[in-house]
Amino acid sequence: MSRTLETLAPILLVAVLLGLWETACYLTGVPAYFLPAPSAVAAAMAQDWALLLASAWKTLSTALLALAFASLIACSLALIISTNRLLEKAVQPLAVALQVTPVVAIAPQVVIWAGLAHPDRAIISLAVIVAFFPIFSGALTGLKSTDPDLERLFDLYGATPWQRLLRLRIPSATPFVLEGHKVAGGLAVIGAVVAEFVAGSGGSQGLAWRILESSNRLQTAKTFAAVIVLSLMGALLHAVLQASEQAILRRFRGR
């Protein structure tokens, strides 16, 4: 199969599905509030593009801020507990509990703690909680995944714990930390959107609010338009993080 055909295959599939969807809507006369035709969704996107972009930026900036906070907290905590096995044993179950607890379950309480007048604080906090685990887990695994022979070499040359941390453990952890950030990036967007839903007020004008608002008004084409922008934004963030990871690793390993 040629490379061009391989590249075109997913685009062709989407085009065919959209065509079928458009035709089905036209032939069945299904009401637009139930299932809008792709052309109606495109029209809604064209009409509201400025508002959608502003909302997308609001959600994205929240997710990026949460990612930065999560990175700082997770890496620092991983560094601290990697130096003490007892501390690691003590913290690990709590970290796992935090990971497996659905963010929706704790969101209403976090909204109350953050103050009903400050939904942004709650949204960022919730996104941080969701993004925390993959970075923490990656950093901790990385800090403990050093080459045993390199460890022996550092023993042989009498390295201090500080030299070992800076010159061996942190560099060894880098690929794991980058992978953790890539996963956490997508989760931070999900966390921000879920938190916006739960906060459920116009106080936060992110994409989730656009979806809620249009859905409540039965403007389904606008809902679809917001969902599509959300998906594209998530995919773009993932692609940027993946490209950054690859570029850093290429530089890190020399190829």
Partner 1 sequence: MSQVASLSAVEVAYPGRGTVLGPFDLALTEGEIVALVGPSGCGKSTALRLLAGLEQPTAGTVTRTPERGQTAVVFQAPTLMPWADARTNVALPLELAGMAKVKARDQAQEALRAVGLENAIGSKPAQLSGGMAMRVSLARALVTRPRLLLLDEPFAALDEITRRNLADDIHRLWDQTRPAVVFVTHNVEEAAYMAQRVVVMSANPGKIAGQTTIDAPLPRPPGFRTSEVFRNAAEAVSHDLAKAMGQIQ
CA distance 221 to 250: 43
CA distance 146 to 134: 19
According to CB under 8 A, which one of 154, 176, 209, 224 is a site residue for partner 1? 154
C-beta of 68 vs 165, nearer to partner 1: 165
User: Residue with structure tokens 């020399």?
Assistant: 254
CA distance 138 to 111: 29
Restricted to residues 172-231, the positions that interact with partner 1 (CB under 8 A) are: 174
Of the candidates 142, 167, 146, the one whose C-alpha atom is nearest the C-alpha of residue 157 is: 167
- Four-residue CA torsion sign, 30, 44, 232, 59: negative
According to CB under 8 A, which one of 31, 76, 83, 155 is a site residue for partner 1? 155
Residue 171 within binding range of partner 1, rule CB under 8 A: yes
C-beta of 25 vs 139, nearer to partner 1: 139
According to CB under 8 A, which one of 10, 105, 156, 216 is a site residue for partner 1? 156
Instruction: Give the distance from CA 70 to its chain's centroid.
Output: 11
C-beta of 3 vs 251, nearer to partner 1: 251
Contact string 226-255 vs partner 1 (x = CB under 8 A): --------------------------xxxx
CA distance 239 to 254: 22
Collapsed DSSP state (helix, strand, coil) of residue 1 = coil
Cβ 146 to partner 1 shortest distance, Å: 10
C-beta of 152 vs 217, nearer to partner 1: 152
Cβ 78 to partner 1 shortest distance, Å: 18
Cβ atoms of residues 221 and 131 within 8 Å: no
Residue 162 within binding range of partner 1, rule CB under 8 A: no
Collapsed DSSP state (helix, strand, coil) of residue 30 = coil
C-beta of 10 vs 254, nearer to partner 1: 254
Of the candidates 180, 214, 185, the one whose C-alpha atom is nearest the C-alpha of residue 66 is: 185
C-beta of 138 vs 234, nearer to partner 1: 138
According to CB under 8 A, which one of 152, 202, 239, 240 is a site residue for partner 1? 152
Residues that bind partner 1 (CB under 8 A): 147, 149-150, 152-159, 163, 167-168, 171, 174, 252-255
